[in-house]
Amino acid sequence: MRNAGWVLLCGALLSGCVTTTVYQPLSALQRPAIVDPQLANFEGMRLLVRCVPGDYLQAGAADLLCRKVGALFRNQGARVETDVPRNGRSSRNLQEGTPPDLVVNLSSRLLHKESSGPLWALTVLTLTIVPAYTEYSVAQDVTIRDSSGFVLASDSLKARFIEYFGAGVWGVNWVLDAVVRPPEEEITGDAAAKDFSRDFYAQLSQLAFNARVRADVLRSFEPLPQSGSNPRQTGAVP
């Protein structure tokens, strides 16, 4: 029975049921976004979404990010292709086929990570009654270009996450979520991931819309096509 209890305890700890994640929006994610992602903001446009893997964003996570961002823009009326470069090489050649109107490049960076080894040891010794924490900050870099490579919009969306590991912290927040907090202010479960996704998708839609408007303005300054040297003649030839 004692061994079975330890097995159940270890299973509970490893399952993440005592982890509470707090999301804090930082640079750019705090700005208001006026573009509604539920509207057809990119109706008829061709978008290429490129998610670049790196030390923080592995290839599998980059592929998942591209699928989600692709769905975001498809819901806004765009025709979307996705691309996850492998070994530094892109699978999509912009010189082939119909060029996209916008190329959305995404990459992620880990800016800071902090944790306390002694505190984690104390957490284990007290069976998570004393909570431990891990704090990390990440940046989602976004660059939007036209098919020629001209930069239309660029930003770095930064966020901080604090993961508290402990049954006491999780239990208190679970009770507060169930009894006191409104749904939009909940902390336990996948609330942090949902809050980050909401802010990230809103800012990404705003950036892409700004890029579209900038591209339209730049095209308005392009010179009109020159007429041929032999203008078309109308009427009867004498």
Residue 98 CB burial class (10 angstroms; 0-12, 13-18, ≥19): exposed
pLDDT digits (tens, 9 = 90+) for 104-118: 999 999 999 998 888
Q: In this prediction, what percent of the chain has a pLDDT beyond 90?
A: 49
Model confidence at 234, pLDDT cuts 50, 70, 90, reads very low
Pick from 115-124, 137-146, 160-169 the range whose average pLDDT is largest: 137-146
Maximum CA extent, the chain: 112
Higher pLDDT, 167 or 32: 32
**What pLDDT, on the 0 to 100 scale, is given for residue 155?**
96
Higher pLDDT, 225 or 235: 225
Instruction: Assess whether pLDDT exceeds 70 at residue 156.
Output: yes
Q: What is the mean pLDDT of residues 189-215?
A: 93
Q: In this prediction, what percent of the chain has a pLDDT beyond 70?
A: 83
142: Cβ contacts below 8 Å, ≥ 6 apart:
104, 105, 106, 153, 154, 155, 156, 157, 204, 207
Model confidence at 42, pLDDT cuts 50, 70, 90, reads very high
Q: What is the mean pLDDT of residues 26-52?
A: 93
Pick from 152-156, 172-176, 177-181 the range whose average pLDDT is largest: 152-156
Instruction: Assess whether pLDDT exceeds 50 at residue 174.
Output: yes
Pick from 1-5, 34-38, 171-175 the range whose average pLDDT is largest: 34-38
Name residue 73's amino acid. F
In what side-by-side order are the strands of the sheet with 132-145?
19-25, 151-165, 132-145, 102-115, 46-51, 79-83
